[in-house]
Structures are given as C-alpha cells and as structure tokens.
Structure 1
Amino acid sequence: MHYGSGSVVSSRTGFTPTGSPRPSRPGQIDPGIIDGIAGGADPSVVSEMSHASAAALLDRVRHDADTDPQIVQRVLTLVDREGVDLIAELWSRSEPDSLPGIMWRLYTLRSWMRRDRDLISRLWRLGEPVATTASAIAGIDQAPDEDDIARLADSILSGAFTGDFAVALDRASAFTDVVAQGLHVEAKRMSAIEQRERAARLLHTAGNLMVTSRDFRHGAQLWRQGKLD
C-alpha cells in the first residue's frame, strides 16, 4: 500500500489491494467450486460456497498441522503461490461478520504487510512511539524494522490456523489500530496548502483501517461466542 493511494478500501473489502496485477492462476480449491463460478453461479450459491470453503480450509489445517507441519506454510503462502483471483471471487464480497469475510481480511492484511513492510514499520513507529498494550497484543516490539513486520504478518495468519482464532483477530485489530494512528500523525504534519489533499487521502486510508480493525475485533467476539461462520 502506498498510503493515500486508495489501495486500502472500505470495510466491505478490508485490505483489498488495488492497482496491482493479479496472478491468473487460481487457488487450490475444489474444482467443482471453480466450475460453479466460471458458469456464473447464483449469488446465494456463491455465498454458500464461500462459507463452506473457508470453514473447510480452517478445519483441515487445524486437524493436519500437527502431523504435517508443511501444510501451514502452504496455506500461509497460498495467495503468493497460486494467485488471489479465486479467493477474491469466493471471499471478498462476504460480510465482515462472517468467516469468509474475516479470512479474506486476514489474507489481504498479510499481503499488504509483506509488500509494504518498510512503510508500515515507519507508520508503526509514528503511531506507537512508546510501548503500550497494543504492542503486547499484536506481539511486536515498539520499534519494528521491515523484517519484524514480515514476521508479524506470517505470525498473525498462521496463528489463525494453529492457535486461538480469536487471539489472531485481536492481534490483527491491535496492529491496524496503531498503523491507522501512524497515518493520523503523518497527516497532521502536513500543514502546507499543497499538502492538504495528500493529508486528506491519508486520513481516508486511516479511517478505512479503523473500520477493518473493528471488523477484526467483532469477528473475535463472534468466534468466542461460536457465531462466526
């Protein structure tokens, strides 16, 4: 993400990157689902498939991770290796209070963090100048470098598959809150008239991040209540 560029959009699509080419190869999901989408499936059918595929992916990894450690790495890098087209088609239009909607946000959060790790590490330092509970919840140092951001990106997503799913969402929420605050600090430094438009874009992006942070927090609450499906 280049902040203020519109590459983080509204809460309906969370951290969906825009303006970058997408690999055309689809993710490794049941061929029957692919056929259904290719034929222009009914929206209700697509919704059913999105929920089923998210639940199946999460369930399989949770059951197989102990016997096959490499499965976590394969799922973690699914978008990197296979492309995001099919996952986006299945999950990106799902409501933020649903499992596929939350899974989409987690995957795109990881992609964004790894792609713009240098920028994000700087925004974190602006938003979290002293260690607070956000650092502890997210699981990152007060002044992370770009490698720390990349490791955190993997840690949050892999934790959703191998640990407490709600805790992973809490970590994602705390992280996006701080980065959003960093964007606010950056915008306030832009006082010159010619910088006002850019500052407005930063604040718009920060607002989108705050909404997505709330989506993560709400998802964590629903998961703990057994209502995230």
Structure 2
Amino acid sequence: MSTDSNSQVGSSSIRPSRTGFVASGTGSSRPSRPGQLDPSLAAQLTGGMDPQQVSEMSHVSAASLLDKVHHTEDPEVVERVLTLVDREGVDLIAELWSDTDPDSLPGILWRLYMLRSWMRRDADGISRLWRLGEPTDTAASAIAGVDPAPEADDIARTADSILSGAFTGDFAVALERAGAFCDVIARGIKASGRRSTGTAETKSEQDEAALRTASSLNGTARDFLHGAALWRRGRLE
C-alpha cells in the first residue's frame, strides 16, 4: 500500500472481499499435529470432495484445532497454529473454511486468519489508516489493544496478539478486539477517500470505492462481534 491517500483507497490490499479484506487465509483439517494439514486430507481436497463432507470436516477441524491449543502450554504449538497460513498456503486451506458461514466456528476462524494476514502484509498502510480513523472513537484503542498512533511494527504485533489470544485466551474478547479494529480501519478508509484529489469524476470513483471497501470491512466487524456473542452463549460451532 503506498503512502499517498489516493492509492490507499481501492488498492488491492483493501479491496472488498468476502471477509472485508483481501483473503490470504487459512483453515485446517483435523491436524495430525496442531497447525499442520494432514497430507491425506490434502490429497482428497485437491482431488475433489463432496461439499457436505467438506462442510462437516471444516467444523470438526476448527473445533479440533481450537481445543488442542487450549489444552497445551507448549509455545511451539501456539506458534505453529499462529503461522498456519504462512506454512500451508492459502489455496489448499481455503478449501475447508473459506465458504463457511461467519456465524460458525470455522467461518470466524477463517476471518481471523484473513485479518492477521492482511495486517501483517500491509502493516505500514494500515497504521496510517488507523491514525485517520481512530480519533473519532478513542475507546477503540483500548478494545483493540492498539496505540492511538501505531507504527507498522505495532500493527504486526497486534495481528499476532489478536489471533493468538483467540487460541490461548478468551475467544470472545479476541473477536471483540478484531471487530473494533476493523471498524476503525473502515473509518480510516472513508477519511482517506475524502482526502483524495483529482478530477471530479476520478474523485467520485475513489469515494465510491472507499465506501464499498469500508462497508465490507464494517460487515466483517459485525461478523466478529456477532461471533463473540454466539461464543459467550455457547452457540458458535
């Protein structure tokens, strides 16, 4: 993401997607080791599987992954789960979780992994968007655990903190942090769009692109907050 406000809005980094930010995501089978995709499942997925089987496997794998990490104190296990998408890649893992509903455990885990990937990949640009959006709601800094004026390194650390907190801490709190973060970045995107320059036609297009992207990100924030509420009621499966 470049440094000028024009390129921030509508860049490939923040274009609308199914989850409100560019997918670079994750999922997992029932892992033989936490955070590692089973090779036999990988072969099945690449060969094609019945959609119902994939759906069932997505729910089982998400619950299995979360349960295993909650019952370990091994930091290496946590690290493997945290970097799951980095090691396994997007395409294969997406077979399991990317099409699941946001009010399901695999669906919300997919979105958490997407958020981490985006935050780490575009940390510098996102830190600028945060500084544009955060002043309108200073409480978001406390909820998301982000400084009011973060640098790129702060964004990357927050990305890891939110995802690792989902596995090792209070899952609902991690989702609430993610939701607050997305809302602030959405406001930053809108503010960036308003600052864009150019002809009236170009500016109108940039404003519309910013609004679409921000709306998509706001939708993801609502998914996270709804997921947190379901988790607290024991209904996120």
Instruction: Give distance in 2, aligned partners of 1:131 and 1:174.
Output: 10
Q: Amino acid of the residue matched to residue 109 of structure 2?
A: M
Given that 1:190 and 1:196 are in contact with CA atoms closer than 8 Å, whether structure 2 keeps it comes out as: no
Instruction: Give the superposition deviation at 1:47.
Output: 0.4
Given that 2:9 and 2:193 are in contact with CA atoms closer than 8 Å, whether structure 1 keeps it comes out as: no
Instruction: Give the superposition deviation at 1:6.
Output: 5.4
Given that 2:162 and 2:178 are in contact with CA atoms closer than 8 Å, whether structure 1 keeps it comes out as: yes
The alignment covers a number of residue pairs equal to 218
What is the aligned counterpart of 2:66 among 58, 81, 95? Answer: 58
Distance 1:14 1:203, change over 3 A: closer
Partner residue, 2:163: 157
Partner residue, 1:144: 150
What is the aligned counterpart of 1:224 among 206, 211, 232? Answer: 232
* Residue 203 (structure 1) aligned with residue 174 (structure 2): no
Instruction: Give the superposition deviation at 1:130.
Output: 6.3
Instruction: Give the superposition deviation at 1:83.
Output: 1.1
Instruction: Give the superposition deviation at 1:82.
Output: 2.3
* Residue 9 (structure 1) aligned with residue 16 (structure 2): yes
Instruction: Give the superposition deviation at 1:204.
Output: 1.0
Given that 1:183 and 1:202 are in contact with CA atoms closer than 8 Å, whether structure 2 keeps it comes out as: yes
Partner residue, 1:173: 179
Instruction: Give the superposition deviation at 1:9.
Output: 3.0
Given that 2:101 and 2:107 are in contact with CA atoms closer than 8 Å, whether structure 1 keeps it comes out as: yes
Given that 1:134 and 1:174 are in contact with CA atoms closer than 8 Å, whether structure 2 keeps it comes out as: yes
Instruction: Give distance in 1, aligned partners of 2:219 and 2:99.
Output: 16
Instruction: Give the superposition deviation at 1:78.
Output: 1.3
Instruction: Give distance in 2, aligned partners of 1:96 and 1:130.
Output: 27
Q: Amino acid of the residue matched to residue 217 of structure 1?
A: L
Q: Amino acid of the residue matched to residue 62 of structure 1?
A: H
Partner residue, 2:195: 189
Instruction: Give distance in 2, aligned partners of 1:37 and 1:219.
Output: 27
Instruction: Give distance in 2, aligned partners of 1:16 and 1:101.
Output: 15
Given that 1:130 and 1:142 are in contact with CA atoms closer than 8 Å, whether structure 2 keeps it comes out as: no
Q: Deviations over 1:1-51 (max 9, x none)?
A: 6541355434x4443438xxxxxxxx7223343233233211111100111
Given that 1:15 and 1:105 are in contact with CA atoms closer than 8 Å, whether structure 2 keeps it comes out as: no
* Residue 126 (structure 1) aligned with residue 132 (structure 2): yes
Distance 1:32 1:13, change over 3 A: farther
Instruction: Give distance in 2, aligned partners of 1:81 and 1:202.
Output: 32
Q: Amino acid of the residue matched to residue 197 of structure 1?
A: E
Instruction: Give distance in 1, aligned partners of 2:140 and 2:222.
Output: 14
What are the within-5 Å matches in structure 2 for residues 35-74 of structure 1?
35-64=43-72, 66=73, 68-74=74-80
Q: Deviations over 1:122-162 (max 9, x none)?
A: 00000012662111000111000110000000000000000
Q: Amino acid of the residue matched to residue 170 of structure 2?
A: D
What is the aligned counterpart of 1:108 among 93, 108, 114? Answer: 114
Structure 1: give runs of 5+ residues left out of the alignment.
Answer: 19-26
Structure 2: give runs of 5+ residues left out of the alignment.
Answer: 2-7, 25-34
State which drifts further: 176-185 or 191-200: 191-200
